[in-house]
Structure 1
């Protein structure tokens, strides 16, 4: 019975593992679905095609067309730019689809384009969306965009890191710090100073989007009610308010510390003080050493008192270029004395030091609560002379260009399908017609469950044992339950064996 319960537990474990594997496969299939996308797919028939070798099926690509009002779009399907390359993805290509690729590493890059018309922050939301693929991973660098402010001196030919922008948005990574920036520049209504405001960090772990070498979709929603939300692959990763969820805050505090206030000289901040009535005990010896020789120690037998611990290396020779006037008298380097290797020690033996049981150290009076304690001093508050209240930070400076101003230690960062609009339906349709196709191709090219298990076992050979047990246990359990042990029928007659003493009749009887 115990054996059967053990097999039953193992069977339940195997069923759980199989269920998990099936769930992973179903999740992959669900990710391959694209909403609102009209895609023509033809299964491979063994005939050669012009598609990339790693595409297992043919996707009919058409340059996405905005279905509503937009301020800017860029697909790079028919453009050439001299400082950047316009080319397809390295992996999971969609035939006919091109993107803007940052090709060099450890250099600054800048490129920009004008919008169809400036975006003015009034009563319509702002939606910014684009794709990024870190084709070689990313060590240190960014892939964020800047929405360049609509200033009179805006010159895209002179676009650089100090060109004023209204919003900066997108991924950035250096070391193990994975960020998704949303920064807007707020203008102080009192003095005109401009200060960057940073949104809070994403609510999820972003590491995967920097390392999986897949195309990811970044979307920023900014609403006239000052709310914002950030999406990665159409899943929300951060949301908040421009009034309460940015650093530093848009509005300064109403009160500030008085810079002219100073702490009084007699202000007592000490919470504890030495007890003034405490007296050092008469037997307290402040001069007793912390360590004393161990009186119970005994010199080990065989200790070589007359042998030095180190001796001059016998084979050492003075260098030919040694100048005793400049370098001093030459001495051979010291090496451990070989005579000491078999002995417990060499040289003068001394008693080892131990902690002094009589050591008490410097006497100090115990601490008590300070009866004059006044607390930690802080300056008084006064009205903030620089206070203002801006309840509509959404109404930031309008912008009329979008640009990439980047520095990266990794090359081949792929950008594609930029769109700026005020209509969510337009952005969603644009994503379905562009990023949705890339996602569909990448999902179709993902290895199946068996292939993934084999790849995992190549990195972790011990997984083969798990696989064998997972397959073998159900077979063993089936054999165990379908062919149980055959027990003899108790009604069946047992043959009489005259040679077996246990079956013989007694040889004598009592009358």
Structure 2
């Protein structure tokens, strides 16, 4: 496979370039020695790097391998069988989205190495692999035998090397005895047919499940002599038809046009119905098995291969880093690899590199309207939600703010309430009459309707206005 060093295709930081996998359906391998080997003792291991699936990802990986220290390590011959201590990073094929953390554990009894896989993260990884953005992947291994996996500086998985690896680091103390065999008379049946049950005398096993309906009547107009299909009268034998090679030519069959308007054609057959007398084959009812002994399992014996490694953090030292990948998608971008023991160093490294890329990408993000349109293109049902969201406030505004139709009472009130010239004496008399009316109304009904009060207020205001 081919590698290139180039800028990001989108949201590139000027002058910033990364390592890019360029080939499709090929194996790629590239590696480099560390300036100093990392020995697992009393300091944590922090591994961090950036990945951008610039074209998304169909099937392929973007994980790294931390290669084990050895006297015969030769990076010129780095390939898939080169021993590694840790494998970490994203991988995807089909709809299987993975984030690997695998370490090779040395069996203290046999000296052989076994791969231990961390449990899957309980998060949706899909968006990180398909959004075509640069993401930061971080693995933190601590001397207390715990680990953390982060994406974009957010923890997506954490656990213990002793408890959250598959298979477990330490084998079981006991195993099933491979020489133990189930006794021939061991009864694992929780239920058995009742041996005392007897088939009833009236149980007829010969009755069929379905019978012809004796009450069915042939529909009126049924065409007994007309076939359902007839040769196509418009069909013609092909010019290149060779009867010696192809046999006698026959026109293709089409539905009989006469049957379209009729209830049916051809020989009428009574429809079938469920047989009320059908009981099927008689079987004795099931009862609890008095001889039930449970599910048999072999006896346990001490595991001859048992060992206990209380500190699996003390792995084989690492002295190189490598990318050994196969991918069906090109233009996978890698950048800013760092291996260290201080979280502050890794965070500062991320801020100066990935943080800058994130700022550039955020500045180039499309506006809210463009994001809504893009989301609706992926999920068309969102258009309905958008329309309802816009229509609801408009409809409420029209309902409560649009002037209603004036009633005849309002029109009549306006006609009789036209202002006219009035003398001071007349005003005084009308005011006194109005006050008397108000006193009478209060005596008759203390709970005067609010509309009545409004009408009096309006009349009084009209008088005052006419005075002016």
Question: What TM-score bracket applies, with the shorter chain setting the length?
Answer: 0.7 to 0.9
Match of 1:50 in 2: none
Kindly indicate whether residue 88 of structure 2 is the aligned counterpart of residue 169 of structure 1.
Answer: yes
**Aligned: 1:490 with 2:456:** yes
In the superposition, the TM-score normalised over structure 1's length comes to 0.75
Q: Which residue of 1 aligns with 2:15?
A: 96
**Aligned-residue offset at 1:364:** 0.4
Distance in 2 of aligned mates of 1:262 and 1:456: 61
Change (3 A) 1:119 1:309: same
Contact 1:316 1:333 in 2 (8 A): no
User: Which blocks of at least 5 consecutive residues in structure 1 are unaligned?
Assistant: 1-81, 481-485, 495-511
Contact kept? 2:40, 2:315, Cα under 8 Å = yes
**Equivalent in 50, 65, 90 of residue 146 of structure 1:** 65
Classify the secondary structure of the residue corresponding to 1:220: strand
1:317 partnered with 2:237: yes
Per-residue CA distance 1:411-466 (angstroms, 9 max, x = gap): 11110000000111111111111111111111222234455456657775556645
Quote the Cα distance in structure 2 between the aligned partners of 1:281 and 1:185: 68
Q: Does structure 1 retain, via aligned residues, the 8 Å contact 2:105–2:315?
A: yes
- 3-state SS in 1 of match to 2:456: coil
1:318 and 1:332 in contact (8 A); partners too: no
Cα offset for 1:309? 2.0
In structure 2, what is the Cα distance between the partners aligned to 1:467 and 1:377? Answer: 63
Distance of aligned partners of 1:470 and 1:455 in 2 relative to their CA distance in 1, 3 Å threshold: farther
Q: Is residue 179 from structure 1 mapped to residue 145 from structure 2 by the alignment?
A: no
Picking from 328, 337, 362, the partner of 1:443 is 362
TM-score for the superposition, normalised by structure 2: 0.81
SS of the residue corresponding to residue 426 of structure 1 reads helix
**Deviation readout 1:79-129 (Å, 9 max, x if unpaired):** xxx931111111111112111111122221111011112111122111000
Query: Quick one: which of 33, 45, 58 aligns to 1:126?
Result: 45
CA 1:138–1:268: 2 relative to 1, 3 Å: same
- The question of 1:301 aligning with 2:220 is answered yes
- Is the contact made by 2:60 and 2:327 (CA closer than 8 Å) also made in structure 1? yes
Q: Contact conserved, 1:457 with 1:464, CA < 8 A, in 2?
A: no
Flag the structure with higher helix content: 2
For 1:251, which of 162, 166, 170 is the aligned residue? 170
Partners of 1:309 and 1:478 in 2: how far apart?
65
Residue number among 85, 93, 107 corresponding to 2:26 in the alignment: 107
What is the rounded CA distance, in whole Å, between the counterparts of 1:120 and 1:195 in structure 2? 20
Larger radius of gyration: 2
What SS does the corresponding residue of 1:447 show, helix, strand or coil? coil
- C-alpha contact (below 8 Å) 1:87/1:101 kept by paired residues: yes
Q: How far did 1:472 drift?
A: 5.0
The corresponding residue for 1:30 is none
**Deviations, residues 226-259 of structure 1 (Å, cap 9, x unaligned):** 1000111111010001110010111111111111
What 5-or-longer segments of structure 2 have no aligned partner? 403-409, 411-450, 461-468
How far residue 399 of structure 1 moved from its aligned partner, in angstroms, is 1.4
Partner of residue 269 from structure 2, selected from 350, 363, 381: 350
The within-5 A match list for 1:278-427 is: 278-314=197-233, 315-317=235-237, 320-324=240-244, 330-427=249-346
Residue 96 to residue 295, structure 1, CA distance change in 2 (3 Å): same
Distance 1:121 1:493, change over 3 A: closer
Judged with a 3 Å threshold, the aligned counterparts in structure 2 of structure 1 residues 95 and 257 are, in CA distance, closer, same or farther, namely: same
Taking a change above 3 Å as real, the CA distance of residues 448 and 474 of structure 1, as seen in their structure-2 partners, is: farther
Contact between 2:237 and 2:249, CA under 8 Å: does it hold in 1?
A: no
The 2-side partners of 1:341 and 1:347 are apart by 13
**Distance in 2 between the 1:456 and 1:331 partners?**
56
Contact persistence 2:68–2:320 (CA under 8 A): yes
Instruction: Tell whether the 8 Å contact from 2:6 to 2:19 is kept in structure 1 after alignment.
Output: yes
The alpha-carbon deviation at position 366 of structure 1 amounts to: 0.3
Q: Is the 8 A contact 2:2 2:23 kept in 1?
A: no
Aligned equivalent of 2:136: 217
SS at match of 1:430: helix
**Offset, 1:470:** 7.4
* 2:121 maps to 1:206: no
Change beyond 3 A, Cα 1:237–1:286: same
Give the distance between the partners of 1:263 and 1:369, measured in 2 at CA.
22
Q: Deviations for 1:307-359, whole angstroms, at most 9, x for unmatched residues?
A: 122223333437745455x6655544333222222211111111111111111
> Matched residue of 1:261: which SS?
coil
Distance 1:470 1:355, change over 3 A: closer
Q: Distance in 1 between matches of 2:289 and 2:385?
A: 66
> What secondary structure is seen at the aligned counterpart in 1 of 2:20?
strand
Separation (CA, whole Å) in 2 of partners of 1:225 and 1:285 = 74
